[in-house]
Amino acid sequence: MLKYQNWYAGIWVAVVGLYALGWSSLNGALDPALLVFFGVSIVVSIIMAALSSPIPLVKLRWVKRRKPVITIAVFLGFLVDWAYRGSLPVLQSYQGYDPTSTAELSVGIPVFHVVLMAFAIFYTMYLSYLYLSDTQNKGYLWEFLLLIGMLILNNSRGYVVFCLFIMLLLYSSFNSKGIKQTKVGSIVLIVLAAFGVIIFISAAGNIRSGYSWNDCSYIETIGYFNNYPDWLTKHFMWGYSYATSPLANLNLNCLRYNGNLNIAVILFSFLPEQLSAGPLAHGVTIYYVVNHLNAVTGFATFVGAAGVGGAYAAFAGMILLYTFVKVILKKFRVLETFGNALLCFLALSMIFFNCFTTSALCYIPFFLIVASYYLNGRLVSNDIVLLVQEPHPDAPEALGSFTAARRIRGEAR
């Protein structure tokens, strides 16, 4: 469940499969070379996951009372950022992103805003890990809810989904009883929860677009649905457009690749956008099937610079970076479970974002490494302990059926 390779393979099988249904006229035939890329990368991911060792389930608990200093600092950071902006973001009208616009938008204090948002996302996820490691400590939960509230007030609904996804993934990992021991009722509950999320996304999209929650005529029009099955509720249209339009845009960029290799853009596509925005802006043109559906996957700039070969470069770069991070996580142990959950999330996010450049996501590996080093010091000084869930002797380790916990204290390394 916590192997990022499985998440990469699973999500792209789902996206390519949904795309192939052709419910929207935006979904043109995939470039054969692009289709081969996804086939190769999916197979490689599955093999890598099968050959890799299981991810240990480790809970982290502070021995001494932990003061919420960082949470308070993030909270104050939001207040300062909003004061500079001159308003509460959630109260401002959202006009949507226009890829053709060249106007600079003020979203907060330069540089500070980027660091604040990136760290707030990471730390909110970390708080969910602390709470799931020690559910008796309600302070973690209140801190988590406080920062979730700040993200909501910041009009960062997508970031809230990021944090809730990590919390759900960690909860599922810690409480999994294996496929054979999963009750039918639990499966039904999961299906109903997934359906509820789909309805929520649809209702929110309809309302934000100025329609009643149950009126999907707007997305039906802008999503160019011309082959949608009559038996399926139209509430699935929003989710379908979100899932498949990035691939439609990526496919368009593959078809329009001019054949000129731009190595500089490939290299800059691995760097945070604060460093790469200038070179990328002058190096490649990103095309959109329609401007109002502007997600292009994490492969778009690579494809614009080198065709489908650029997608292979991005995939290889992802494997190299995440392998390096996994080595650090395994060495220090303290955030191995949490860190692998974040890698799963980053692999999943490649549907929409370039996780090497997008400010909200690209610093997560760096934060993981720094936090691992810091917390390892706390482990050595016995300020924290690790609780490792042990597999039941009669249960295959891959199924994740656990009956006991082993405590690890710090030791000189």
Tell me how far apart the alpha carbons of residues 336 and 332 are, in angstroms, rounded to a whole number: 8
pLDDT, position 399: 35
Per residue of the chain (413 residues), give pLDDT as tens.
Answer: 799 999 999 999 999 999 999 999 999 999 999 999 999 999 999 999 999 999 999 999 998 888 899 999 999 999 999 999 888 887 775 544 444 544 444 578 888 999 999 999 999 999 999 999 999 999 999 999 999 999 989 888 788 888 988 998 998 888 876 555 555 665 676 677 778 778 877 887 888 788 888 898 999 899 999 889 999 889 999 989 989 999 999 999 999 998 889 999 999 999 988 776 666 666 788 999 998 888 899 999 999 999 999 999 999 999 999 999 999 999 999 999 999 999 999 999 999 999 999 999 999 999 999 999 999 999 999 998 999 876 544 344 333 343 444 566 655 44
pLDDT, position 13: 96
Tell me how far apart the alpha carbons of residues 95 and 228 are, in angstroms, rounded to a whole number: 28
Burial class (CB in 10 A: 0-12, 13-18, 19+), 259: exposed
Q: 């997508």: which residue's tokens?
A: 158
Phi, psi values for residue 150, rounded to 5°: -65, -40
DSSP 225: B
Supply the DSSP string of 55-96, one letter for each residue.
Answer: PP-EEEEESSPPP-HHHHHHHHHHHHHHHHHTS-GGGS----
Tell me how far apart the alpha carbons of residues 328 and 344 are, in angstroms, rounded to a whole number: 16
pLDDT, position 158: 80
pLDDT, position 285: 87
The tokens describing 42, both together, are: 């999916």
pLDDT, position 32: 95
pTM of the shown model: 0.87
pLDDT, position 279: 63
Residue 24, strand partner residues: 225
Handedness of CA 396, 398, 399, 402 (dihedral sign): positive
